[in-house]
Amino acid sequence: MKLPETIAGFQTAYRQKELTPREAVEGVLKRIEAVEPKVQALLWSDPQRLREAARQLEQGGGPTSATPLWGVPLLIKDNICVEGVPTTCASKILAGFKAPYDATVVARLKRAGALLVGMANMDEFAFGSSCEFSAVKPTRNPWDLQRVPGGSSGGSAAAVAARMIPGALGSDTGGSIRQPAAFCGVAGLKPTYGRVSRYGLVAFASSLDQIGPLTREVGDNARLLQVIAGQDPSDATSSDAPVPDYVKGMGRGIQGLRIGIPKEFFSEGLEAEVRTAVERAVEELKKAGAAVQPVCLPHTEYAIPTYYVLAPAEASSNLARFDGVRYGPRAAADSMEAMYLKSREAGFGPEAKRRIILGTFVLSSGYYDAYYGQALKARTLIKRDFDENWERVDALAVPTTPTAAFRLGEKLDDPLTMYLSDILTISVNLAGVPALSVPCGFTGKGLPIGLQLIAAPFAEETLFRIGGAYQERTDWHQKAAPCGN
């Protein structure tokens, strides 16, 4: 039988007894066998382990209100710990490492009845915007196999776009869920900082990282967030803010919602086709009843330099633990210092080394105040810009990326150009607010374009309302990638 393509579809099929978890698993494995050799989205999967999980799920009874994801196959980004499974962050320095425990989000998915199919490819330690910095292999975009899927959650986005899986988890530090969602034509959410536990996420930049869902439809995004959101005593930065019924809230429509359009996100460097698609999407939101008005975020121009001081600084600190002693391969050497140097030299790829060196520099004596201290001040100004606008609007609508997906290898030799791929997503992480990318059109070459919706802290429900209303009026999200047919 043809498998459902959405989480909601799986839920319906199970309730109506049209499908069993074991049948679902066989269908997913068959789909992976057909598509994965072309897309290269997975780093690890164990068919026998998956079949056994499905068998045990069936023996435990059918779906209940306590298991909303019963039998739903999902993919996990390779920087989120799954007990007993290789968790390598797509890096040589973690080769052979198996997580000794489940991340909180994984534990919640398991309790909800989800079937975890495997681990998704990514840029090494989430350092990248193209999924080309994986130490294992580059993932390819299902819409054009000669183009990147975006990063760093490129494997998660590509797998969903290729119809290998109805949903996946990614992580977003500067756009790593939203940018690949836009490039691959799927929905991707970066939740409010603190909305989702980071316990069990291998840290990149601890003040910026958030785990979030990637799905085909906005409603499925809401279903996944419903399960993984909420306070966690294992993560001191997780919030005790109430978690609303996201799916139910989507049915309220957007009549009267105020949507702001910041001119700073429509500046030089934005491709004409992207601008046109986003402007048409905004017009569609107006037809659905939203009130649109211009707003100003004057410190947006400082987002890139601020981010590329703060994020590498935190990464330098977080990655100091990977030294060949406790994790991964250890290089042979005649002294402790030489062992550290050789292990890290062999274990980290070029982009990881670049960011570690940059972060170490800005934290070094004599430079801390000039760089890191100033960046913290700039971050405060960026956050204040957003805070001031929430009194006037309920959400912002902007492009997710300045361009559509670029060709494999096109930006590998130009790190600055690669970093600018995240120019429209980074300020959201600096401000700690939630943002959702939804498909809003295609370029003349048939490449997806993303609309980014941004809301006040813990207002994910507003994003789902707007994104859901937009998808009710359009069919961009229903179109299948050539590699997904």
Q: Per the residue annotation, which of 91, 134, 176, 316 is the catalytic one?
A: 176
Q: How many contiguous H segments (helices) and E segments (strands) does the chain have?
A: 16, 11
176 is catalytic: yes
Strand 167-172 with 73-77, pairing? parallel
Which residues make beta-bridge pairs with 315? none
CB within 8 Å of 148: residues ≥ 6 apart: 130, 131, 132, 138, 139, 140, 141, 154, 183, 405, 406, 407, 408
State yes or no: is 239 an active-site residue.
Answer: no
The single-letter DSSP state of residue 372 is I
Question: Chain-centre distance of CA 292, in angstroms?
Answer: 27
Beta bridge partners of 453: 397, 436
Buried b (16+ CB within 10 A) or exposed e, 425-454: bbbbbbbbbbbbbbbbbbbeeebbbbbbbb
| Collapsed DSSP state (helix, strand, coil) of residue 40 | coil
Instruction: Establish whether 98 is a catalytic residue.
Output: no
Of 45, 77, 129, 316, catalytic: 77
In contact, 437 and 146? CB cutoff 8 Å: no
Cis (ω within 30 of 0) for the bond into 267? no
Three-state secondary structure call for residue 396: strand
Strand-pairing partners, residue 258, are: 291
Active-site annotation holder among 45, 152, 153, 156: 152
Residue 334 dihedral angles phi and psi, to the nearest 5°: -100, 5
d(CA 168, CA 184): 13
Backbone dihedral region for residue 185 (phi beyond 0: left; psi -120 to 50: alpha; all else: beta): left
- Residues serving a catalytic function are 77, 152, 176
